[in-house]
């Protein structure tokens, strides 16, 4: 079964544990500046929204790469940057419609979420369940359940 | 080792910025943040220095856990000699700024001297330089943050700054970061303003990567987070209701100081409580509270984000206050509300927003307004003098005085001096509800005996955060003690003060101590720093820090006579509630406290005590 990162902004408090976990997993340091997931704080509405790569099936970054440095991890479905091949041309950063693949000055390569090989550190670190790692085919399960609850468990008007 | 190992020394007179290695011997003896920053300050300034002179210094300090995955590991402390009290001033803040400084590779920044013209310090990793701030002077905290992010074209920049209050010399001006997190008390922002220093803008991309034993650290941090999540206060109460959960609780205990401590229960408490914030308003059907918010690394998330009623008189035609922004915490809601007898939640939030926007301590401001309202009702101050009618309960006066004080207009200049100077000026010094010149926070020191002793002996003037015995006396953490009972309170106060000093020095939030003891902090520090830390060792360091601060204050001219409470708390009994008829038993508790501390009868640490603590 393939899993995906599932984000529920309503549960995010903006603590950035996910960003620290990401940078620690990939660089061995707590550096939100190096995180592949970013939490956006929309101050005037009070909303906090974590955002990262959704691992497109037909990934723009993968198709744009001139040296085929981005490949698919067959087990996790993640689109993974092969650092040894990447030449840092940044064409993928232009082609990605979502901005979730970015250049890293220190390495001269690009980076993006690779699902940590199937055990994402951000989901593990999230204290509120705003980021979860769940069955790719059933990301709607919780919402369906809420509506099903309304339909079945609450007294109907009729 | 988890300390960055480097500090920045900025001489504002000379305009120089230098890097120097952290004194590791001091780091091990004082941990970081509050303890270590205080050690630096005390070693470098004359205790008798005028707080607003160039010879005073001001330090921004992080701790070894700041910028790590330890829960709440985002805090920094601002340390200086305070202008409100003349004692050591030491105020900490959350938000994201502290972690950003640490991730830029700096443990602390020391400012000396005074700049000839307004400047701000820009830090991006190893680069640190003073820049012209003429265009920022006169701007609010919110405008300053916005302008700096735009001019640097860097939305990820973090800003710690002052607003107009700090520029205008309000003696309790705050340093504010991330729009509404503040190093709030004792006038640390006033000192910043006196040096013509407007802001510190930081971008840190290096990260904190020198954890001594990463595997042990991650395990210890995870275990400690679970303790917070499983605890009723830190896992449920604080995230749901914030600190405001206390409003109704403290009112029921009969310890909610009301109308300048005339009363101990407020009939309007329910209108300004957490419950009120979560109930749809009659006017527009919307809730005041929008959501909760965490500071950096915090798995509690007690912060409040609120949205005002757009039709409220205070914000009509002022759309800049209609968006979501930092909401009322318990202390602010009390000081702006119960302390003045005001039960208009929206008015409280307006005053709170002004405090955030212009960088002003809502506790000292609100409590000073309380004193003004009492003087007004006594006929000592008139509407003409104040510029408005100011009876207890006037929401309009509260909002107007917030504007006037923050911006230094009219009578606001006098409110900006704080209650001690103001009441003395008008011949009623007994009406200042303060210790060492700093106003009380939100718990009555008569009805809750331990907190009264904690106020009287706090090293930064009246404060709940130096020894929060409310945890024990009201909430039963770690054990329940009787609020009106004075027996055993000197020991309790000492234990809380020492432990708090250690928590504050690690770079974490004191709110973790609702669930954690030092035994939960020790393994995280040990794995991060590599040194051996035990609960006992940390308590010992906390005691060392407390005594060091005390020695500074004694050298600054404070004596036993300053370890006291206003006459009202010592002679006027609580009128209602479970503590009816009670006054503070401070005269009984204080000598015992000195004894427990190993101080002489004048409140000075004995040679033996100093030797025991390595001072």
Which residues from A are below 8 Å from B226, CB to CB? none
Q: What are the C-alpha distances in Å from B570 to residues B86, B445, B447, B581? A: 24, 9, 11, 12
Q: Is B424 on the interface with A (CB under 8 A)?
A: no
Q: Is the pLDDT of residue B532 over 90?
A: no
Of B203, B290, B294, the CB nearest to A14: B294
**Quick one: pLDDT band at residue A154, thresholds 50, 70, 90?**
confident
**Quick one: pLDDT band at residue B580, thresholds 50, 70, 90?**
very high
- Look at B323 and A14 and tell me if their CB atoms are within 8 Å: no
- Look at A30 and B103 and tell me if their CB atoms are within 8 Å: yes
Mutate to test the interface with A, among B291, B353, B509 (most CBs of A within 10 A): B291
Q: Is the pLDDT of residue B1 over 90?
A: no
% pLDDT > 90, chain B: 100
Q: Is the pLDDT of residue B86 over 60?
A: yes
Which residues from A are below 8 Å from B141, CB to CB? none
In chain B, helix, strand, coil percent, each to 5?
Answer: 45, 15, 40
Phi and psi at residue B441, to the nearest 5°: -85, -155
pLDDT at A60: 98
% pLDDT > 70, chain B: 100
Only one residue has tokens 């939305």, namely B155
Shortest distance between the Cα of A60 and any Cα of chain B, in A, equals 26
Q: Is B207 on the interface with A (CB under 8 A)?
A: yes
Phi and psi at residue B570, to the nearest 5°: -90, -20
Copy the structure tokens of residue B334.
């009390």
Length of chain A: 158
Shortest distance between the Cα of B320 and any Cα of chain A, in A, equals 10
pLDDT at B483: 97
Q: What are the C-alpha distances in Å from A68 to residues A60, A65, A71, A85, A100? A: 12, 5, 7, 8, 18
Mutate to test the interface with A, among B69, B218, B277 (most CBs of A within 10 A): B69
- With a CB cutoff of 8 Å and minimum separation 6, the contacts of A32 are A16, A19, A20, A23, B99, B103, B207
Q: Is B216 on the interface with A (CB under 8 A)?
A: no
Q: Is the pLDDT of residue B164 over 80?
A: yes
- Look at A33 and B67 and tell me if their CB atoms are within 8 Å: no
Which residues from A are below 8 Å from B295, CB to CB? 15
- Look at A45 and B323 and tell me if their CB atoms are within 8 Å: yes
Copy the structure tokens of residue B92.
């900490």
**Number of residue pairs across A and B with CB atoms under 8 Å?**
86
Of A14, A29, A125, the CB nearest to B209: A29
Summarize pLDDT for B45-72 with one digit per residue, the tens. Answer: 999 999 999 999 999 999 999 999 999 9
Shortest distance between the Cα of A130 and any Cα of chain B, in A, equals 12
Shortest distance between the Cα of A76 and any Cα of chain B, in A, equals 25
Of B225, B323, B325, the CB nearest to A127: B225
For chain A, which residues lie within 8 Å of any Cβ of chain B, measuring from their own Cβ? 13-17, 20-21, 23-24, 27-34, 43-48, 125, 127-128
Of B207, B229, B307, the CB nearest to A33: B207
Which residues from B are below 8 Å from A15, CB to CB? 294-299, 301
Alpha-carbon span B206 to B217, nearest angstrom: 19
- Look at A45 and B324 and tell me if their CB atoms are within 8 Å: yes
pLDDT at B383: 98
- Look at B205 and A127 and tell me if their CB atoms are within 8 Å: no
Of A15, A23, A128, the CB nearest to B207: A23
Q: Is the pLDDT of residue B180 over 90?
A: yes
Q: Is the pLDDT of residue A156 over 70?
A: no
Alpha-carbon span B53 to B141, nearest angstrom: 23
pLDDT at A13: 98
Which residues from B are below 8 Å from A33, CB to CB? 103, 156, 203-205, 207
Of A13, A28, A45, the CB nearest to B209: A28
Copy the structure tokens of residue B356.
């955030």
Q: Is the pLDDT of residue A157 over 60?
A: no
- Look at B103 and A44 and tell me if their CB atoms are within 8 Å: no
- Look at A13 and B239 and tell me if their CB atoms are within 8 Å: yes
Mean pLDDT, chain B, rounded, equals 97
A15-39: average pLDDT: 97
- Look at B207 and A43 and tell me if their CB atoms are within 8 Å: no
In what helix (H) or strand (E) does residue B17 lie, and over which residues does it extend? strand B16-21
- Look at B325 and A32 and tell me if their CB atoms are within 8 Å: no
Which residues from B are below 8 Å from A28, CB to CB? 209, 214
Shortest distance between the Cα of B533 and any Cα of chain A, in A, equals 22
B165-179: average pLDDT: 98
Residue B195 contacts residue B12 (beta carbons within 8 Å): yes
pLDDT at B531: 84
Q: What is the pTM of this model?
A: 0.97
B490-494: average pLDDT: 98
Which residues from B are below 8 Å from A13, CB to CB? 239, 292-294, 298, 301
Q: Is the pLDDT of residue B595 over 70?
A: yes
Summarize pLDDT for B435-466 with one digit per residue, the tens. Answer: 999 999 999 999 999 999 999 999 999 999 99
Mutate to test the interface with B, among A19, A22, A127 (most CBs of B within 10 A): A127
- Look at B205 and A28 and tell me if their CB atoms are within 8 Å: no
Q: Is the pLDDT of residue B202 over 90?
A: yes
Q: Is the pLDDT of residue B261 over 70?
A: yes
Alpha-carbon span B369 to B197, nearest angstrom: 28
> Which residues, numbered 482 to 501 in chain B, qualify as contacts with chain A under a Cβ-Cβ cut-off of 8 Å?
none
CA Rg value for chain B: 22
B532-544: average pLDDT: 96
Residue B510 contacts residue B40 (beta carbons within 8 Å): no
Q: Is B299 on the interface with A (CB under 8 A)?
A: yes
With both helix axes pointing from N to C terminus, report the angle between B535-556 and B33-44 in degrees, rounded to the nearest 10: 30
Query: ipTM score of the complex?
Result: 0.94
Mutate to test the interface with B, among A9, A12, A17 (most CBs of B within 10 A): A17
**Quick one: pLDDT band at residue B473, thresholds 50, 70, 90?**
very high
């Amino acid at each position: 079964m393939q899993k995906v990162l599932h984000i529920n902004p309503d549960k995010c408090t903006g603590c950035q544990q996910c960003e620290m976990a990401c940078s620690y997993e990939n660089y061995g340091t707590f550096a939100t500046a190096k995180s592949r997931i970013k939490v956006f704080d929309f101050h005037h509405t009070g909303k906090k929204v974590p955002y990262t790569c959704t691992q497109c099936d037909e990934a723009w970054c993968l198709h744009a790469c001139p040296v085929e440095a981005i490949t698919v991890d067959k087990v996790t479905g993640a689109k993974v940057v092969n650092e040894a091949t990447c030449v840092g041309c940044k064409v993928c950063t232009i082609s990605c419609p979502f901005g979730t693949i970015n250049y890293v000055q220190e390495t001269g390569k690009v980076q993006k979420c690779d699902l940590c090989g199937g055990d994402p550190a951000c989901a593990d670190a999230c204290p509120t369940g705003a980021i979860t790692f769940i069955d790719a085919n059933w990301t709607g399960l919780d919402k369906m359940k809420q509506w099903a609850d309304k339909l079945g468990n609450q007294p109907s008007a009729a | 080792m988890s300390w960055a190992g480097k500090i920045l020394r900025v001489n504002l007179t000379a305009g120089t910025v230098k890097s120097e290695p952290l004194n590791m011997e001091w780091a091990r003896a004082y941990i970081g943040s509050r303890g270590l920053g205080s050690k630096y300050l005390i070693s470098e300034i004359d205790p008798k220095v005028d707080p607003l002179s160039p010879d005073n210094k001001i330090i921004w300090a992080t701790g070894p856990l700041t910028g790590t995955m330890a829960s709440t590991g985002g805090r920094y402390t601002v340390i200086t000699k305070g202008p409100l009290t003349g004692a050591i001033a030491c105020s900490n803040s959350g938000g994201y700024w502290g972690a950003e400084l640490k991730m830029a590779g700096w443990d602390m920044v020391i400012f000396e001297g005074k700049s000839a013209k307004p400047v701000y310090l820009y830090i991006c990793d190893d680069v640190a330089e003073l820049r012209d701030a003429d265009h920022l002077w006169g701007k609010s905290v919110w405008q300053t943050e916005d302008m700096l992010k735009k001019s640097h074209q860097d939305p990820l920049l973090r800003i710690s700054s002052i607003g107009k209050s700090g520029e205008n010399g309000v003696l309790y001006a705050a340093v504010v970061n991330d729009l509404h997190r503040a190093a709030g008390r004792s006038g640390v922002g006033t000192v910043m303003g006196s040096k013509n220093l407007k802001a510190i803008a930081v971008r840190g991309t290096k990260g904190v990567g020198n954890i001594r034993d990463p595997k042990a650290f991650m395990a210890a941090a995870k275990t400690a987070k679970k303790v917070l999540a499983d605890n009723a206060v830190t896992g449920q109460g604080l995230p749901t209701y914030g600190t405001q959960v206390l409003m109704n609780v403290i009112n029921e205990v009969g310890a909610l100081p009301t109308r300048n401590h005339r009363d101990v229960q407020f009939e309007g408490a329910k209108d300004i409580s957490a419950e009120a914030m979560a109930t749809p308003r009659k006017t527009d059907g919307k809730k005041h509270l929008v959501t909760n918010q965490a500071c950096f690394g915090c798995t509690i998330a007690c912060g409040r984000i609120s949205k005002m009623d757009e039709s409220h008189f205070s914000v009509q035609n002022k759309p800049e206050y209609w968006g979501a922004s930092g909401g009322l915490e318990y202390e602010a809601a009390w000081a702006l509300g119960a302390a003045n007898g005001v039960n208009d939640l929206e008015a409280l939030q307006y005053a709170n927003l002004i405090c955030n926007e212009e960088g002003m301590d809502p506790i000292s401001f609100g409590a000073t307004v309380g004193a003004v309202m009492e003087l007004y009702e006594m006929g000592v101050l008139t509407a003409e003098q104040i510029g408005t009618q100011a009876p207890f309960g006037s929401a309009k006066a509260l909002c107007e005085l917030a504007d006037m004080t923050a911006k230094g207009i009219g009578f606001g200049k006098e409110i900006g001096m704080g209650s001690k100077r103001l009441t003395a000026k008008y011949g009623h010094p007994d009406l200042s509800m303060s210790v060492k010149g700093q106003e009380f926070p939100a718990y009555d020191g008569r009805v809750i005996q331990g907190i009264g002793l904690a106020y009287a002996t706090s090293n930064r003037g009246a404060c709940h955060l130096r020894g929060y015995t409310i945890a024990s006396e009201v909430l039963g953490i770690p054990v329940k003690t009787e609020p009106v009972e004075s027996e055993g309170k000197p020991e309790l106060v000492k234990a809380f003060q020492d432990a708090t000093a250690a928590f504050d020095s690690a770079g974490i939030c004191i709110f973790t101590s609702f669930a954690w003891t030092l035994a939960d902090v020790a393994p995280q520090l040990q794995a991060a720093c590599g040194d051996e830390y035990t609960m006992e060792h940390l308590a010992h360091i906390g005691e060392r820090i407390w005594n060091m601060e005390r020695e500074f204050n004694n050298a600054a001219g404070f004596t036993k006579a300053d370890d006291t409470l206003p006459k009202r708390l010592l002679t006027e009994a609580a009128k209602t509630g479970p503590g009816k008829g009670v006054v503070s038993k401070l005269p009984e508790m204080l000598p015992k406290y000195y004894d427990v501390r190993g101080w002489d009868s004048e409140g000075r640490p004995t040679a033996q005590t100093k030797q025991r603590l390595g001072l």
